[in-house]
Amino acid sequence: MIKRVLLLMLAVGMIGGTAQAETPQQILDNLVAQAGPANAARGEKLFRSKFSGGKNADSCTACHTDNAKAVGSHVKTNKVIDPLAPVAQKDRFTDPAKVEKWFKRNCNDVLGRACSAQEKADFTAYMISIK
């Protein structure tokens, strides 16, 4: 009986909790549910392409370097940026709100617009595929 009450409290606590940690695969699954199948090769192309509509940088690699397993550096502030690939930085793509926040900011900085769900799915698939 006491065990059951404890389990119930645990379950309620988990549902009521705010910080929802997910796995990179769950984050990808959510994006795929919105966009359709993801394509890691297209995601890599987005990562490596140069754009001209951006405000702060012409590419993702400007800050994240061309190696997603490497430590990056902010093109304006020189602030150190941890690697983007989950294989090199284990908390990457585990916090949906953080992922959304930075897609929004960085796509605007580089593309001059928000990324589509498809672009986000592809990019996330590429990051997960890096071994």
Report d(CA 76, CA 125) in Å as an integer: 27
Q: Chain centroid to CA 52: how far?
A: 22
**Binding to ligand HEC (CB under 6 A): which residues in 51-80?**
56-57, 60, 62-64, 74-75
The least distance separating ligand HEC from the CB of residue 1, rounded to whole angstroms, comes to: 42
**Of 77, 121, 80, the residue nearest 99 (C-alpha):** 121
**Is residue 106 close enough to count as binding ligand HEC by CB under 6 A?**
yes
Size of the site for ligand HEC (CB under 6 A): 22
Q: Cβ distance 35 to 120 under 8 Å?
A: yes
Binding site for ligand HEC (CB under 6 A): 56-57, 60, 62-64, 74-75, 81-82, 84, 92-93, 98-99, 102-103, 106-107, 109-110, 123
